Structure 1
Amino acid sequence: MARPSDSHVNRLAHRGAVLHFRQDPGRHGTDAYEYWDDGLLLVAGGRVEAVGPAPAMLSQLPKDLPIMDHGRGLLLPGFIDTHIHFPQTDVIGSGGSNLLDWLENYTFPVEGRFADPVHAQEVAEFFLDELLANGTTTAQVLGTVHRAAIDEFFQAAQRRGLRMIAGKVLMDRHAPEYLQDTAASGDTDTRQLIETWHDRDRLHYAITPRFAPTSSESQLASAGRIAEEYPTVFIHSHLAENRDEIEWVRKLFPDSRSYTDVYDRFGLLRDRATYAHCLHLDAQDRRHMATTGATAAFCPTSNLYLGSGLFDIAATDAAGLRFSLATDVGGGSSFSMLRTMSEAYKVAQMQGQHLSPLRAFYLATLGGARCLRLEDRIGHFGAGTEADFIVLNPDATPLLARRMAQSKNLVERLLLFMTLGDDRCVAATYVLGQPALIKRSARSQ
């Protein structure tokens, strides 16, 4: 138990079941997490001051300290979605026979509307509302090719005090003309956006080539130069999602050993580089990504919806490649990280593998923070971390309540949250200790 300090003012305690992770349960078992059935999370000045068992902590705290009693609710760090497209909010649930067909017939036409900053602002506000309603407090977000659209996104996130990563898409070929930039304009826009937004308040910039086929070698080289000049910015793109896409990359870049090698040639594999999907990689690619510090974003609802393939957890672990969970809206079919965990569990089952509920929740919290190198700030309840957290309601639906009443331990309860749960389970979302969403009132003592 972390010991509370008496030096803080404006403190508030939150009481309920409390869970957070210190390590990956897939590697460290029961030593990887801390859980209290009756726990207390002490917040002061927007940061975590202490966490531990409620009876012991309350005996050390002032009698007049305000306490929010969340009853049977489960307090967790806010979910972290490492790959999602805010312009694709209005594409979710669209058809398409495969990835490339879906892009051409659904995604690109919708993204064209983001040339209008007013439209971009409206979608950004709705998008952030959806994230918070689903308990997601940090996301790594792709914009469109329009610089003004990503300005609108950052402004919306800044107004809410959110920790967000985002970037303007770089795309100078193999896309409709109305969605193309140039290597030169993309370079200029990216540099100016970095100078404006990176590390401003809780915001970060990601260099964002859409994927290798839609950027010329000149544009990829430019992205690599920017990455070298700005070592703390993020890199965010797609990799090996679809077999037709991979064959296309092979033809476009015949001198590269693999799709992964294309990004490596241009200096785009490194720490804080996230590549979504990573379905069709060989062992050499996975090992090399791990060596460089790049990470994979596992997007199960998208991979199943578009028929792209199954993420291989065992092979990824064997290579030492870090990975996280992501919704990939709008190819993904839900903003809910709970539903994403459910589909990830099934993807593992289909390959004779197992994703434990503990590890699934780790991947959606501390695992995501580690992949983004933000674990010093978010993803767990260590003293001094930012107080972004959520409350899950075990009685959110009659069926969930009935099954929860029969559960015997934490693992069973987590499995029920991720198999039967969705946004209805998120009773409250807090950002820097302040309520950003309250669906079910807690009791103040």
Structure 2
Amino acid sequence: MSETTALPRGGVSDSGPQREPAGPGAVRRFPNARRAVRAAAPAVAGYAAVRAVGLLLLWMHPGPGSALQRITTLWDAVYYRDVALHGYSDDLGMPGYENGVPYSSRAFFPLYPALIRAVHEVLRLDPGGSALLVTWTASLVAAAGIFALGSHLYGHRAGTVAAVLWGVLPHAVVESYAYSEALFTALAVWSLYAVVTRRWVWAGAISTLSCLTRPTGMAVAAAVVVAAAWCLVGHLRGRGGDVHWSRPLLGAVLAPLGWLGYVGYVGWARGEWNGYFRVQSAWDSHFDGGITTARWLKAMLIGQGHRSTQLDQVVMVLVVLAAVFLFAVTLVQRHPLPLLVFTATSLLIALGNGAFYAPRARFLVPAVTLLLPAAVGLAKARSKLTLAAVLACAALASGMYGVFLTFRNPFSP
């Protein structure tokens, strides 16, 4: 049975980007690790180059504070460092948004600070250096995963362009912060790649790790579970192919365990079943289905928001609108089912956040599947020089905006 049968494309028409043939042969595209690394090298190098532009612009900025000091201590970076060094705390000494609930570091999922602690203990680097080593390594792994996914579905050139596009997003600077976005993106995209190549147990296991990295890991788990369920339906209909039914079932069971385990642990540690959600409420983070986002967009677009002229809010509006448009494109082009589920769930989580000034654009950085339509379109450019010029201009623009977010913006990016 081909992958097209096992994992259908969504949408309403057969139009869209041309895909390379999928199936058992496609799974063996990279017969060995050396060939896989060689194939991904241009994409990873291109991603590293555009992020190097962003870091160079940060380094050239006169201040306040050095670039290295800023990217290791801004906002969430401090909390990740403290969790890595001292463990979790249920009272950070600051009153939260909800009366009686102080800020708690349990809002931050454990895998990223655990890796920081491991690097710190093994290599004896300072906490900031340990965090950056984890982040920058994860970002390269993510770029390789974006290439692998895009290449498998739409060809090597599209995969390469997709990896570079991820490095020139408006908020790509957070991929170089001591933040968890890079690690989460790496795990998410490799889990999706495992799904579309029908490596079900790997998909579920990597999804579990993504669920231990950020709460949005549930978007990855949803993609694995829905795709596995579709495969199991195929088995019931006698179209199971060469994959035993137990493997997608095991993948589906594994996929959400990280999220369920951590949320359950926080509830146990705090002595209340909804402990994690109480912690999130203190940070003014809760799900309202998009009502607050709609009000925020209205305020920004018609000028009723008191921060409507702030650059970060203007860019965030553009990013949100672009994300919704690109998701519509993926539906029309009928992208594979697990990608659609991951994208839709990521959008739902990011735009459903009830905090009025939630960093929605940053929340969408890991939604790399939204980049695939643009990557396929740019990959069709006849002139490599034109394509390189477009990406270089995007790298400069992203880098300059990253300087603003790092040194000038008074709010969390």
Q: TM-score, normalised by structure 1?
A: 0.25
Q: Greater helix percent: which structure?
A: 2
Q: TM-score, normalised by structure 2?
A: 0.26
Q: Greater strand percent: which structure?
A: 1
